[in-house]
Amino acid sequence: MKRKRCAGMLLAGLAATFGAGAPALAQVGEPTGTFGIKITHGGTTIVDNPNVAVPTDIKLSDGDGEDFVQIGTIGPMNSPIILKIVTDDDPNFRISHWYIDVPASLANINLPGPTSLFDPSNPSPIEVEITNLAFTNTTNVTPLIVPNNTYATAFMRDLGGVFYNMPLGNTTGFPGPGTQVQVPGQAFFDADPAMYSFTGSNFGPTASWKWSGLPNPGAGTTTNNGINPNAPSFGSGYVFELGLGVSFVGVPEPGTMTLLGGAAVMLLRRRRR
């Protein structure tokens, strides 16, 4: 099962936001070193790894796929949980995409393993926390997501690789294999903190943040398979992949966060395999 990705990113909004008259911005370099990751599902800890190395290859522009690191195991067969990170270059921002998968083995990372990343029978919310991630070329960094309807921030895919119809998600892409359902940034900043929220550190030497209140698809959640927009999930709520997005800015200007609200960025770019 081969993975594909969407084409480009809509960075024009960022360029317009930081055009003439905007303060000079310091570029945030690539993530580096080690960091912590904790994934919880209600009262259950899925992963708690304080010493994860940034994968060696975090670029697609070099012509090959991104690398991965194992961050934990799950289930009675100790299936691996892996993390991939992809970053995009921009003069003002570091834009990153995070993919957490549960493959059958490290030798075949595109084949789903026997255990879902999240228990379909548990309706509790999901949280992913990243701590103490350092970057090159900057001494101050803030993690952020844009609170609008075009900055795609979260998705989940089922056993067959298609996208779950997550609450508040937007359907994008071409009908067929290109169909995606991703939750936009505005869902993380609306009036309902119980479903989707985002918190992060502010202009520190390392970045820490949380994506919280992610709903577990569960057996009753439908998928969009490109033909049927409300198809039953393959695997009855099994989650093979969780995708998340976050960007980073490295200038300590309070107004920067406000200016970002109008930017149009399409962040996550994962298609089904």
What confidence tens digit (pLDDT) does each residue in 237-272 have?
A: 999 999 999 999 986 544 444 445 443 344 454 433
Q: Which of the pair, 214 or 140, is modelled with greater confidence?
A: 214
Q: What is the pLDDT of residue 173?
A: 80
Residues 71 and 47 sit within 8 Å (Cβ to Cβ)? yes
Residues 14 and 247 sit within 8 Å (Cβ to Cβ)? no
Q: What is the pLDDT of residues 25-53, one digit of tens each?
A: 447 899 999 999 999 999 999 999 999 99
Give the Cβ contact number of residue 261 at 10 Å. 14
d(CA 188, CA 91): 26
Mean pLDDT of 143-162: 94
pTM for this prediction: 0.85
Please, which residues bridge with residue 107 across strands? Answer: none
Q: What is the pLDDT of residue 16?
A: 31
Residues 138 and 218 sit within 8 Å (Cβ to Cβ)? no
The pLDDT mean for the chain works out to 84
